[in-house]
Amino acid sequence: MNGKAAKIECLIMIVVLLLGISLTGCGTQQPQVSEKPEIINISYSLRPLNVPTIVAMEKKMLEEAMAAEGIEVKWHELEGPATTEALASKAIDMAVSLNYVTAIISKANGNPIEIISSYARFPKAIGLIAARDAGVASVAELKGKKVAVKKGTMLQEMLIKALDEAGVKAGDLEIVDMESANAANAVLLKQVDAVVLPDPLLMKTLASGETIMLRSAEGLILGQAVIAARSDFLEQYPDLVRKFLQVHKQAYQWSLDNAQEALDLTAKVVNMDIKAVNALYPKFDFSLEIDESNIKQLKESADFLQANGFIDKEIDTQDLIADLVDTSYLP
């Protein structure tokens, strides 16, 4: 072989070698398939009357479904803004029974979360009540009074709308930020003049005979709790999210098919008299669907929150709700 031919052969070998290295390198750059998580962390609340969740938890429905995937389920009892804070910090992956106002405000503040299902609608189960001896017989008479409510929730939205309806400005009274259970005790102890409460705290506080109803939330607010999840969790584990919603729907259907057993179970878990649970249950709609009418109501709520300073005025509320709600995971 002459020198020229040897050089050509050498060059060919180098090219072949380089192509082999290149192809091998390409072979290692396959799309990464996310492994399943070892644990799914989900928040829940026993209030106001969360029958489907209680059924699912007590009967271990989700635990059994996820065990087949090799995944452990951990439940965490949280309410209100503490829930969205846990989502933001990735302490939880999904939230059951998150109130819609907290979800809207959290999203507006940059928390990457999404509403994936309705949990319950219950405006009839929320009310503004006053201490019987507070000298308050109507919402208009709350001027100069002290009112306890959990801020950043639908309860505060209800209070502000009730005041607007009565021609009273929020600045005309003292509004105290307080968890609902503490607020119920405060009004009975005469530490505040009025409170906004959800059932069953509302029913229990009225049953004491020490308070009077001023206004129900019906006709004022949407009164909805939702199921939400972190955006990154949805993107990484869409099939698990769909499975979770399927199990939740099964628990809801079981509660419809076995209504009295479900309510007996709920009464036991929340330590309520069964008569009270039976009386409250008709106030709740636990269907999962979110339709265009529901989305419109969420947009109206976002507009109200923006007008009252809860959301930055520069935010486009139409885009906000569009980014917040994703019903594609519903079974």
Domains in the chain: ranges and CATH: 39-121+223-324 (3.40.190.10), 124-216 (3.40.190.10)
pLDDT recorded at residue 25:
45
pLDDT recorded at residue 5:
47
CA dihedral 100, 94, 311, 165 (to 10 degrees): 10
pLDDT recorded at residue 46:
83
- The residues with which 227 forms a beta bridge, in sequence order, are 117
DSSP run (H or E) holding 214:
strand 211-216
Q: Please say whether the beta carbons of 123 and 157 come within 8 A.
A: no
Quick one: average pLDDT of 58-70? Answer: 96
Instruction: Check pLDDT > 70 for residue 6.
Output: no
pLDDT recorded at residue 34:
57
Quick one: average pLDDT of 167-188? Answer: 96
pLDDT recorded at residue 19:
42
pLDDT recorded at residue 41:
98
CA distance 51 to 252: 8
Instruction: Check pLDDT > 70 for residue 195.
Output: yes
The proportion of the chain whose per-residue pLDDT surpasses 90, expressed as a percent, equals 84
pLDDT recorded at residue 283:
95
- pLDDT 10s digits, 10-50: 444 443 434 443 434 444 444 344 589 999 999 998 877 89
HSE, side-chain direction, 13 A CA sphere, residue 113: 32
CA distance 197 to 127: 6
Q: Please say whether the beta carbons of 79 and 151 come within 8 A.
A: no
pLDDT recorded at residue 31:
37
> pLDDT band at 152, cuts 50/70/90?
confident
Instruction: Check pLDDT > 90 for residue 70.
Output: yes
- pLDDT 10s digits, 230-259: 999 999 999 999 999 999 999 999 999 999
Q: Please say whether the beta carbons of 311 and 139 come within 8 A.
A: no
pLDDT recorded at residue 81:
86
Closest to 123 in 3D by CA, of 199, 212, 204: 199
For residue 110, the tally of other CB atoms under 10 A from its CB is 7
Q: Identify the residue whose tokens are 């069953």.
A: 200
Q: Identify the residue whose tokens are 């400005």.
A: 169
Quick one: average pLDDT of 50-57? Answer: 96
Instruction: Check pLDDT > 80 for residue 187.
Output: yes
CA distance 262 to 222: 26
CA distance 113 to 305: 18
CA distance 104 to 261: 35
Vertex 283 angle, CA 225 and 78, to 5°: 30
Vertex 196 angle, CA 194 and 199, to 5°: 125
pLDDT recorded at residue 24:
40
